[in-house]
Amino acid sequence: MAARLRKRRDISEVDLEPEVISQDRVPSNKLNTPTSDIEVYAKEVLNTLINDNLPPTPSNYILYFDRLLEDKSETLRKQVNSILEFDQDNDDDKSLELEKYLKKGFQSVKSILGVTANMYKNMALMTKILDKRKAELENDPTSATALNAIINLEEDVSKLNGIIKKQITQMKTLYDDTASIVKDVENETIFDNRYGIYNKRYLLTKLDQEIKSISEFNHKSTVIMLELSKSLEEQIESEKVLVLMTKTIARLLMKTSRRSDIVAHYSNGIFAMILKHTDINSAKKASERLCDLVSNSNFFLAEKEIELKIAVGIAPIKESKSVEETILCALDAMQNAYNDDSIDFSVCEA
């Protein structure tokens, strides 16, 4: 059967102008109503930023996004955190990883130099053994052939020894050059290799930036300083155990911190956290949660459970105070917490 012929459509009277869709024809819920809880929350964050007279920049939005999330339901927090796991692209984190690889590479170079130095020592020891055997053979006139062999071997070892010595000198030069490069890089690093968090240099830089930000936008931020309780230091004699305890504190700090918080090692086992857009009352709550988290963490020493304890000092970050003054304020508050056994944290109001 022949195929049916399709009749061509007459388009001579068709209006070719694009149709303008009126906003009235679009359901209102498609324009203004968020379609999920996270969209509702996103709008709330933006509105709060605007109400606080802060520019809705990406960095400010992240700060408020994390801060407001603390007061939301557990369901929403889990939903948001699951989404954030697929959206982690932090340049500072990349810098940390780069620094780790750099230091690991330097340690490898150092190990190579150590192995080569041991090889040189072994060659020197072999030379001494050959000299000893040569002396023994020289006292035995019947061993002329063996003596000649020893002499020839001694010459070969001496040549090899000279080559290795020269190569070690070259490697030492390369090592010194590498060490100089690593030292220069370390002067610009932001990572504390021992505790796996930011270092003092990065802390002071970020604190200075936050003071300038407060001067510009007049918001509230705080810094807390904390340290393993001195009573524990007096009880534990082992330096290694104290280091492990201190590393545990560093891990707990990372666990309890928000993405916008700066967690750093200040010096000698003293840690710091910059809590951006956080007032004193909120900093107190954060310190209380941190103290509870630390005290509820199990640390065993020779099958004996030890309760970890920290002292925390809180200081407001103010435009009128320098970086050094702010740090000293928090350290003084931390010392006050040490002096009063009834409290875990103290606030410097100066």
pLDDT band at 91 (very low <50, low <70, confident <90, very high): low
Which residues lie across from 315 on neighbouring strands? 223
Residues 163 and 308 in one domain: no
Is 168 inside any structural domain? yes
In the predicted structure, residue 41 carries a pLDDT above the cut 50? yes
Using CA atoms, how far apart are residues 21 and 18, in angstroms rounded to an integer?
9
Residues 237 and 266 in one domain: yes
Residues 128 and 182 in one domain: yes
In the predicted structure, residue 117 carries a pLDDT above the cut 80? no
Q: Which residue has the higher pLDDT, 40 or 280?
A: 280
Give the pair of three-digit tokens for residue 218.
């007049």
Instruction: Read off the pLDDT of residues 6-34 as tens digits, 9 standing for 90 and up.
Output: 444 444 444 444 444 344 444 444 444 44
Residues 51 and 75 in one domain: yes
Residue in the block written with tokens 């065993």: 300
**For residues 326 and 318, is the Cβ–Cβ distance under 8 A?**
yes
| Burial group, residue 152, by CB count within 10 angstroms (0-12, 13-18, 19+) | exposed
Host domain of residue 272: 192-347
Give the pair of three-digit tokens for residue 21.
């869709």
Q: Which residue has the higher pLDDT, 236 or 195?
A: 195
In the predicted structure, residue 135 carries a pLDDT above the cut 50? yes
pTM of the shown model? 0.66
Is 273 inside any structural domain? yes
In the predicted structure, residue 2 carries a pLDDT above the cut 60? no
Reported as type and span, the H/E element at residue 332 is: helix 323-339
| CATH number, position 273 | 3.30.70.270
Residues 175 and 223 in one domain: no
In the predicted structure, residue 76 carries a pLDDT above the cut 50? yes
- Pairing mode, strands 310-317 and 345-347: parallel
Instruction: Read off the pLDDT of residues 46-55 as tens digits, 9 standing for 90 and up.
Output: 999 888 888 8
Residues 147 and 222 in one domain: no
> Which pLDDT value is given to residue 83?
74
Residues 242 and 146 in one domain: no
Residues 124 and 46 in one domain: no
Using CA atoms, how far apart are residues 304 and 310, in angstroms rounded to an integer?
19
- Split into its structural domains, the chain has a count of 3
Residue in the block written with tokens 């310190």: 287
Residues 110 and 231 in one domain: no
